[in-house]
Amino acid sequence: MDDSVVGILVTVVGLAVVIAMIAGIWKVFEKAGRPGWGCLIPLYNLVLLLGMAGKPLWWIVLLIIPLVSIVVVIMINIEIAKNFGKSTGYGLGLALLPMFFYPMLGFSNARYQGPPA
């Protein structure tokens, strides 16, 4: 196969994955009562995700710290999954394979139940 054909194929597949990811997380935000376009704005999307997970805003500081941020991202995604009635395993999927799990969550019939009071 010609290198240019491979390049075009990789570009098309990559673009499809990016579009599916954006559409999926947009739907997740809308299901949680947040503006869907908020997923496209850096930092603002973190504020919205923290709200969906029921975590305080100062956790953004934790996301700046190397290694700590990995644990924090996993914790946030687990809470988001639980707030949609999904399992801890699903939350790990959101954290580790977001390009698959966010579209699955966004286009599923799962409903946002909000963070626990």
Q: Quick: pLDDT tens for 34-82.
A: 999 999 999 999 999 999 999 999 999 999 999 999 999 999 999 999 9
Q: How many residues does the chain have?
A: 117
Distances (CA, A) of 32 to 4, 8, 10, 99: 42, 36, 33, 19
User: What pLDDT was estimated at residue 116?
Assistant: 62
Largest separation between any pair of C-alpha atoms in the chain: 58
What 3-state DSSP class applies to 26?
A: helix
Reported pTM: 0.88
Nearest to 62 by CA among 41, 44, 46: 46
